A and B are shown apart, each in its own frame.
Chain A
């Protein structure tokens, strides 16, 4: 992507004002985005994005400049613009580059995929959803693929390449009965080329979205109050992502802005909780070969039998925390400076029985499918939406319920997990934070939380 001599000049310009570290990041990507409404392709768009960013550190300070223009002059200009923020005396020598190429080519790169191949898959998903029930008013199928090559080099000798293919299909179904609209959705994604369709069955995706919409159309309003909640595997893992994951990122830990600051080696979760963030899972939606600072991807054991064992740390966070970077630095694209982020984050399988969890829960909520959520890492307060819920009375599922929200604080909820099932599953999501929106997987086996505040507008069932 760049000649060594030019990279050297850019890094020299970046540290010319006395910075003690500099980094150059470049990317070149293409993407395709197609939307189908009511069985007809409505829009199709292709994008080519290309740009670079230069970052300089001086102690805990950082400066970042990015440019869409990747000419020699523009790169040096960006380096000088970042250097302008630093006035210091360090004079780092640039350590000779150690080339490392983490890119692996997808089996079926999207450059070889035609629009008609894409549309065929979308049509299958649409038909499966539409044929599910005559209560379906609308089915929206979205298809997204991209393929991005990235390059990072720095004054400490990093010279790394990565290639990040991604493919995702999302079906949103709307069921209606004249007074009421309810939605269902299913949106699997993989870090692969078109071979992702070995994993994605468009028929199953369409049918699942449709089933959820129809079920919610006939659901009661969820009762409000404090109840035990069983959360299904797959996207249910969003609870860990929000309630705990964000608060273990250096982004919040390094500056003392997390409820889990200073808790290393301490118990932060129930004994049955083991949790991992693993960027190396082949073909997973959140996987990376190297992170956006060129550190090779790896697996991080965040929680071991309830004890905090690892944070997710980027280079700048590493300086404040005195912990080595963990290969966790990510960004949406070159228009963001990278920071510590999650990749594929999940609660590990336990030993509890799926049926027993519900049978012995008394009255509460079974959250079969979760929507998204958010957290305030400072207070640990989180919230997330339940897409498909069922009310449980005396250990038996009695009716589907809609409009449920789960709220609480992360430190509290982790201690209240009292069952962890055996079947781990993961699901794709987009995670938004300081360095933009990045693909992440969330995951868990079925779990139970002994009590959690359930928001809804319904009365007793």
Chain B
């Protein structure tokens, strides 16, 4: 059965069985991925997927069910009703009808239209070039290209019926460098219209691996540090749930009740910008029209991100941040394009201002070493040692530790070198940041 017929039948059955409203989210997608090794195709993946999520409202409560078999709408409705029947929370999860939506221009993805040969050739070319870049690049773990598209429709019995299409494409390169016994790795990607910047991509990935030769730990202590743009974006991503009204209302955010408070230095601002041209969207997972939210402005914490349920509970408007990680998941809160606002200082000027200290280029273990409920982090890190504003060597096997709030208060200068992660349901972006102190564990 096609999705339109299926949803219509599901709505009719839900209303007949006593539900007061019902909503479906249908997602259909296809993808292509190729990865080469030693100038041969190593892996090649193609897919066609779809799924239908259903939410019903029964006696004021929501229940969810999801299926990848579009054969039996009544079974799905009954499962969702069964789930609605056990909900005890008094919070209301409203649905809404059709709203006015702005149109958004889809970002360019030339490789989505390219034929397969061209994608394979790009993956081959990246591998050849990275190996030719430096004799110490001994092999690649990955040299690949991914393209795909998806279609989403959200409909409900209150008249909502909105669809969106997304296309994505990226090239990724993961080389390994060896010098004597020492093995180092690097990685880089380019997405959308930037996929033809092969030389820059190759240079970035190769330099990251090569520049780590001779890395060593440093003595434990307090250091002045620069968090490079991509490391800042990772940290912001790790702590993003702190800014969700859902986390706050559940007592899982240290920001609960702190709206209006100065939580960061004046130079620091954080926005959620659904209109960003690299990754725009017109509406969220509940059909609320997108809007830009100033989360932190000049250090002052302005606003949580809301969906309809958290907004109703807080007595405000949804900020258009309803999100469903997949059509099988209940409605949650999620950022769109979550970005630190850049300053005016270049990366080189930040190093000049750093004087003596560390540049942190990578942080890992965020799923374990970072706690968005307490605000603490303690993470494996790597980067460079800087003396008299010059990089003197690479650094590995250290940890950086602190609280997210001390990070926001210890900011000395914000860079202008804005960098964005991969486009997707949420995209993070940040410039590099100079901090006056950071607790580092090493030797």
Chain A interface residues (CB < 8 Å from chain B)? 34, 37-51, 60-69, 74, 78, 81-82, 84-85, 115-116, 119, 137-138, 140, 174, 176, 180-183, 222, 224-226, 255-257, 259, 335, 337, 371-374, 376, 378-379, 381-385, 402-405, 407-409, 453-457
Contacts and interface: CB of A to CB of B under 8 A. Distances in A.
A41 B88 contact: yes
Contact of A403 (B220, B367, B401): B401
Given A384-B365, A455-B399, A63 B45 contact: yes
25 contacts: A40-B90, A44-B86, A45-B66, A45-B328, A45-B329, A60-B37, A62-B42, A68-B51, A69-B48, A115-B85, A138-B252, A140-B252, A224-B440, A255-B37, A373-B368, A374-B365, A378-B176, A379-B183, A381-B380, A384-B369, A385-B378, A403-B401, A405-B441, A409-B397, A455-B378
Given A68-B49, A68-B51, A383-B365, A49 B68 contact: yes
Given A43-B87, A385-B365, A337 B439 contact: no
Contacts of B364: 374, 376, 383
Contacts of A255: 37, 139, 141
B67 interface: yes
A363 to B, nearest CB: 14
Nearest to B38: A60
Given A67-B48, A69-B50, A182-B374, A224 B441 contact: yes
Chain A contact residues: helix, strand, loop or mixed: strand
Interface residues of B, number: 75
A44 B84 contact: yes
A-B residue pairs, 9 tightest by C-beta: A455-B399, A224-B441, A383-B380, A44-B83, A372-B368, A45-B64, A85-B44, A138-B251, A383-B365
Given A84-B116, A381-B396, A407-B397, 9 more contacts: A63-B45, A64-B44, A116-B86, A255-B139, A335-B49, A378-B184, A384-B369, A407-B398, A408-B397
Interface string B196-233: 00000000000000000000010010000000000000
A374 B368 contact: yes
Interface string B79-99: 110111111111100000000
A135 to B, nearest CB: 12
Contacts, number: 240
B41 interface: yes
Chain B contact residues: helix, strand, loop or mixed: strand
Given A49-B68, A138-B250, A457-B378, A66 B88 contact: no
Interface string B392-411: 00001111111000000000
A42 B329 contact: no
A455 B251 CA distance: 28
A128 to B, nearest CB: 18
Contacts of B84: 44
Contacts of B141: 255, 257, 378
A373 B365 contact: yes
A453 B401 contact: no
A453 B441 contact: yes
B51 A40 contact: no
Interface in B288-342: 328-330
B333 to A, nearest CB: 13
Contacts of B217: 453
Contact of B367 (A51, A140, A372): A372
B374 A68 contact: no
Question: Chain A CB within 10 Å — which of B85, B88, B441 has the most?
Answer: B441
B64 A44 contact: yes
Interface in B111-146: 116, 139, 141
Contacts of A181: 252, 254, 373-375
Contacts of A224: 220, 399, 401, 439-441
A81 to B, nearest CB: 5
Contacts of B104: none
Contacts of A407: 380, 397-399
B16 interface: no
B64 A50 contact: no
B89 A42 contact: yes
B65 A68 contact: no
A269 to B, nearest CB: 19
A40 B89 contact: yes
Contacts of A382: 380
Interface in B18-47: 34, 37, 40-47
B49 A383 contact: no
B190 to A, nearest CB: 21
A177 to B, nearest CB: 12
B371 interface: yes
B44 A63 contact: yes
B69 interface: yes
B9 to A, nearest CB: 17
Contact of B89 (A41, A65, A256, A404): A41
B417 interface: no
B250 A34 contact: no
A374 B42 CA distance: 25
A335 B47 contact: yes
A42 B66 contact: no
B374 A453 contact: no
B310 to A, nearest CB: 12
A321 to B, nearest CB: 15
A66 B89 contact: no
Nearest to B249: A37
Nearest to A226: B443
B379 interface: yes
Contacts of B85: 115
A34 B86 contact: yes
B46 A82 contact: yes
B442 interface: yes
B279 interface: no
B185 A453 contact: no
Contacts of A74: 48
Nearest to A371: B368
A24 to B, nearest CB: 15
A225 B401 CA distance: 12
A183 B371 contact: yes
A21 B184 CA distance: 35
Contacts of B44: 61-64, 82, 85
B169 interface: no
